[in-house]
């Protein structure tokens, strides 16, 4: 569903009266002479329209007659018809607006308002600025009226006001078309900067060597979706990653947790950093030696540049606002959201939950581009994974997640630059990789979509007692060669070992919440 346009109609008499009241009796900002000069230039110079068509829309004109004339010009342009006094007159007559604008006499008079079309672009920008000023005045008036309405929720009013102001500001920021040469120079400079880095990455390191080898780090302005079924370890993975980013690399990270409280998240980070089992962190029953070790390590957590927001049911508008503040104040390098389906887009009033998720997904992609940082959003998978029969045949693990398993998958899959899955075969009683290597305690990080690189799998080690992911102790044993993880399903060549008496998986997801 499209966003509601800001001030989409021509200002009426009542609008002008309301605006004048808001301004203490002053007329709203406008300049009729510039409007007539622009229209006159278009009528006398057939090439003039191309200089302003990307700047001006009919509603940007203050005078209603000028809105009608410009609309007629745009319709003629769309039909690739010539634009002059005669054709504009006929078009206005066809739609019944010629007399409303003042007849042929007014159309002819426009050509006397300009001597040359040289300054038309400058004049058009001034008209647009006047329009923005009027829009701000009308928005302010609407906010005053809404503020007196006791039936409206204040939070909804704030969201609606921010959305309208953001829409207005976005409309004023027009990116110009650039010649490829200037973009090439920027790309080359980025290549030189990346070559200087010892880690050979061009983005933000994840802290996991296998993942960084494929992605070259999480790239700026990208949206990354990491999805899994419950109990696979989504939150544990992003916390492991955030801890490495912030503590090891000193990169400011923002984390929006819609499911867990900030205290729960911090306890997990403390568990992972101090390597003291989560049960002891929760109970506080540490030995004197463990307390001493805890005290020696906790400063690294206290001073980590991790900024946590645990607002439940966070709207995409609130997130966008908070993210901008964090970027400006702390220069955050990455945003992590846990998780996407718990967000709302209430002020946008979508028609269905699928439309709402689509709006949220597009907004997150837009936020990544706006702040020029990676946005990593966790996502749930639907139940189709569980409904597939647990088996391994022809080297294919039937429980392995697929893009179609994403909840509300269409928009998320389309908007995301990368889609990754976390898969633990052990959870489904797949206990070896067909080469004698145990998959107990191992996890598969599956890169299923990668807009700017290859798709591949990365094997990770999961330590349940510390609720953290690590590099495998012997990665090469799980791969087809010395170059790193092999692609596809090569790790899952075994038969189902659900009757293996040596492994008890019962209760694991209850002891360790994921």
Instruction: Report, as an integer, the average pLDDT of 314-319.
Output: 79
Selected catalytic residue, list 97, 121, 259, 275: 259
The whole-number pLDDT of residue 336 equals 93
Which CATH architecture describes the domain 13-169?
Orthogonal Bundle (1.10)
Tell me the pTM.
0.62
pLDDT per residue as tens digits for the range 184-240: 777 777 677 767 777 678 888 988 888 888 888 899 999 999 988 887 888 888 888
Instruction: Mark whether 259 is an active-site residue.
Output: yes
Annotate 80-100 with DSSP letters as a single string.
T---SHHHHHHHHHHTT-HHH
Where in the chain do CATH 1.10.860.10 domains reside? 13-169
Task: Provide the pLDDT confidence category of residue 52 given band limits of 50, 70 and 90.
Answer: confident
CA distance 343 to 319: 9
108-115: list long-range contacts, CB under 8 Å, 24+ apart: 109/36, 110/36, 110/39, 110/40, 110/43, 110/69, 111/40, 111/43, 111/44, 111/85, 112/40, 113/33, 113/36, 113/37, 113/39, 113/40, 114/36, 114/37, 114/38, 114/40, 114/41, 114/44
- Residue 269 has phi, psi (to 5 degrees) of -65, -40
Task: Provide the pLDDT confidence category of residue 433 given band limits of 50, 70 and 90.
Answer: low
Q: Which residue has the tokens 């609008």?
A: 15
Where in the chain do CATH 3.40.50.300 domains reside? 198-511
pLDDT per residue as tens digits for the range 56-74: 888 899 999 999 999 999 8
Which CATH architecture describes the domain 198-511?
3-Layer(aba) Sandwich (3.40)
pLDDT per residue as tens digits for the range 350-384: 556 777 777 888 888 888 988 899 999 998 887 77
């Amino acid at each position: 569903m499209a966003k509601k346009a800001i001030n989409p109609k021509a200002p009426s008499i009542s609008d002008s009266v309301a605006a004048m009241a808001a301004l203490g009796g002053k007329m709203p900002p406008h300049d009729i002479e510039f409007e007539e000069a622009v229209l006159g230039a278009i009528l006398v110079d057939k090439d003039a329209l191309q200089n302003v068509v990307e700047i001006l829309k009919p509603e940007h004109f203050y005078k209603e007659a000028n809105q009608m004339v410009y609309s007629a010009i745009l319709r003629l342009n769309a039909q690739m018809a010539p634009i002059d006094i005669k054709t504009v007159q006929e078009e206005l007559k066809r739609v019944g607006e010629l007399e409303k604008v003042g007849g042929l006499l007014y159309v002819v008079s426009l050509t006397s308002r300009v001597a040359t079309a040289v300054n038309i672009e400058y004049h058009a920008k001034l008209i647009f600025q006047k329009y923005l000023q009027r829009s701000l005045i009308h928005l302010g008036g609407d906010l005053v009226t809404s503020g007196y309405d006791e039936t409206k929720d204040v939070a909804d009013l704030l969201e609606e006001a921010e959305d309208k102001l953001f829409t207005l500001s976005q409309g004023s920021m027009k990116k110009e078309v650039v010649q490829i040469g200037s973009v090439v120079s920027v790309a080359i400079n980025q290549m030189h900067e990346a070559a200087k880095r010892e880690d050979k990455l061009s983005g933000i390191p994840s802290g996991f060597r296998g993942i960084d080898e494929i992605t070259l780090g999480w790239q700026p302005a990208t949206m990354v979706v990491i999805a899994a079924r419950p109990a696979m370890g989504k939150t544990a993975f992003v916390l492991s990653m955030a801890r490495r980013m912030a503590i090891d690399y000193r990169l400011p990270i923002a984390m929006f947790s819609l499911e867990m409280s900030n205290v729960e998240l911090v306890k997990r980070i403390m568990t992972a950093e101090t390597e003291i089992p989560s049960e002891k962190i929760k109970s506080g029953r540490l030995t004197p030696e463990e307390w001493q070790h805890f005290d020696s390590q906790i400063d690294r957590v206290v001073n980590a540049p991790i900024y946590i927001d645990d607002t439940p049911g966070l709207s995409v508008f609130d997130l966008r606002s908070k993210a901008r503040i964090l970027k400006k104040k702390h220069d955050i390098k990455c945003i992590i959201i846990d998780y996407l389906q718990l967000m709302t887009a209430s002020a946008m009033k979508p028609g269905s939950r699928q439309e709402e998720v689509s709006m949220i997904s597009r907004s997150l992609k837009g936020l990544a581009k706006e702040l020029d940082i990676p946005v990593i959003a966790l996502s749930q998978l639907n139940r189709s994974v569980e409904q597939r029969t647990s088996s391994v045949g022809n080297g294919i693990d039937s429980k392995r997640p697929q893009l179609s398993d994403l909840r509300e998958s269409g928009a998320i899959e389309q908007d995301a630059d990368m889609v990754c899955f976390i898969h633990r075969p052990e959870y489904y009683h797949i206990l070896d990789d067909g080469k004698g290597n145990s998959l107990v305690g191992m996890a598969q990080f599956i890169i299923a979509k990668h807009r700017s690189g290859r798709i591949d799998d990365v094997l990770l080690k999961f330590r349940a007692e510390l609720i953290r992911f690590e590099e495998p102790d012997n990665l090469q044993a799980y791969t087809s060669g010395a170059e790193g993880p092999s692609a596809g399903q090569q790790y899952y060549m075994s038969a189902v070992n659900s009757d293996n008496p040596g492994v008890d998986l019962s209760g694991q997801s209850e002891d360790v919440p994921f």
